[in-house]
Amino acid sequence: MTQIPDLTLAELRDALKAKKLSSLEATDAYLARIDKAGALNAFITLTAEKASAMAKASDAKLAKGEGGPLEGVPLGIKDLFCTEGVLTTAGSHILDGFTPPYESTVTANLWRDGGVMLGKLNMDEFAMGSSNETSFYGPVVNPWRRKGSEQKLTPGGSSGGSAAAVAARLVAGATATDTGGSIRQPASLTGTVGVKPTYGRCSRWGIVAFASSLDQAGPLARDVRDAAILLKSMAGHDPKDSTSVDRAVPDYEAALGGSVKGLRVGVPKEYRVDGMPQEIEKLWAAGVEWMKDAGAEIAEISLPLTKYALPAYYIVAPAEASSNLARYDGVRYGLRAKDYKDIRSMYEMTRAEGFGNEVKRRILIGTYVLSAGYYDAYYLRAQKVRKRILDEFIEAFKSVDLILTPSSPSAAFGLGEMTDDPIQMYLNDVFTVTANLAGLPGVSVPAGLDANGLPLGLQLLARPFEEETMFKGAAALEKAAGFAARPEEWWG
């Protein structure tokens, strides 16, 4: 018999409904697996007792033939989502001991639909990072290794814990967030599927803020179907979030069977960046052929402002971060420094002790670009560039339905390889930041392995709120790629 953690989320959901197994059995199987995977450092907080209680409640519903779309399915939650009564740290020392008295809307939606919480997943501090090395709780280790090597690799970031947990089958699926690529880049580096929905599709209420005009919640899952199931539950209008869009949530899973025949897929020539490995270039070309074979039309398109996306992002995001992170001062919750003399020194010492170097770097950059003498030269100009990038995409989408690009400029790299060079680290987001600046939906689908046996992903972008078209394309890409590789279980 197939081991429970080997079932996809869709298979597990169907087995639970058919009463072939119980939620408690599934939860116990995942908890036992997590117990042996300490070497991956994917979890910050394990909620075993809560998971068992939720599983028993799900089993009672399932026994009566009741239950929601995710009834009894064990999930992992990125530690950026506030969970009532459960430690929420955002991967930072400054939120030591913070247990929210409320539930984020996205997680509340998952529990409403019957999901079971296994625990809170590790992440880059305040979601600032591309390698999960800025977490106060230590780096997450990618379950994948290069052939013949024992070097520890990054799972990507900031949602590294979510990606590693899904890839190692420690959870059936996970929540994540994407501010500049923090769902799609880790998905690419771990051979998983990551979806960044349209800005406003999922509520941001109860998610610890990084850059409010860019942050968006989404799922990390093993395949496209699982991602579609999770997004259906996560999405929805929320009056508590002024940026949440009041629009019906489609049945994304139902869209997967649809044909891509007649869809026009754009291939942007500007995404061929200097120094990009030949393997990624080759995989991209293969992706174009796969879409063509599935019946789609291919068109070369031009997005010349792409080269300005990364600089614009690294002005806008830190500016918003410096504003959002001003609330962490040691007064109301979280860490408070000891031995301070007055309130000012308490603020200073708490923030100096509580924030890591990358967060401090971004607060300083953000404060600088918002300062009186530089606001027009940097922040205002970056916002104008952002608007031009959106206009460029709107123009491109007049002639194409989807845009196909690589997800990441490289496969997983070694922990510590880029930590001394922030610019090199920031370049990991080169293919993903445009979707955040323009508010577009994007998905990364695992499409192949490099020469070292590491996964590589391809990305599809769609028009705002056309996730159904995107899922249709992603399913076609997934079928053609036939990606079935799994990491060898060295950590157990």
Q: What amino acid positions are annotated as catalytic residues?
A: 78, 158, 182
Q: What residues does 86 pair with on adjacent strands?
A: 83
The terminus-to-terminus CA distance of the chain in angstroms comes to 20
Burial grade of 402 (CB within 10 A; 0-12, 13-18, 19 or more) = buried
Whether residue 267 contacts residue 473, with contact meaning beta carbons closer than 8 Å, is answered with: no
Residues whose CB falls within 8 Å of the CB of residue 173, separated by 6 or more in sequence, listed in order: 9, 73, 75, 76, 166, 219, 220, 221, 222, 226, 227, 229, 230
Q: What residues does 217 pair with on adjacent strands?
A: 177
Q: What is the 3-state secondary structure (H, E, C) of the chain?
A: CCCHHHCCHHHHHHHHHCCCCCHHHHHHHHHHHHHCCHHHCCEEEECHHHHHHHHHHHHHHHHCCCCCCCCCCEEEEECCECECCECCCCCCHHHCCCCCCCCCHHHHHHHHCCCEEEEEECCCHHHCCCCCCCCCCCCCCCCCCCCCCCCCECCCCCCHHHHHHHHCCCCCCEEEEECCCCCHHHHHHHCCEEEECCCCCCCCCCECCCCCCCCEEEEEECCHHHHHHHHHHHCCCCCCCCCCCCCCCCCHHHHCCCCCCCCEEEEEHHHCCCCCCHHHHHHHHHHHHHHHHCCCEEEEECCCCHHHHHHHHHHHHHHHHHHHHHHCCCCCCCCCCCCCCCHHHHHHHHHHHHCCHHHHHHHHHHHHHHCCCCCHHHHHHHHHHHHHHHHHHHHHCCCCCEEEEECCCCCCCECCCCCCCHHHHHHHHCCCHHHHHHCCCEEEEEEEECCCCCEEEEEEEECCCCHHHHHHHHHHHHHHHCCCCCCCCCCC
> Structure tokens of 266?
């754009």
Nearest to 70 by CA among 133, 154, 10: 10
Residue entry with tokens 């577009």:
440
Nearest to 184 by CA among 401, 444, 472: 444
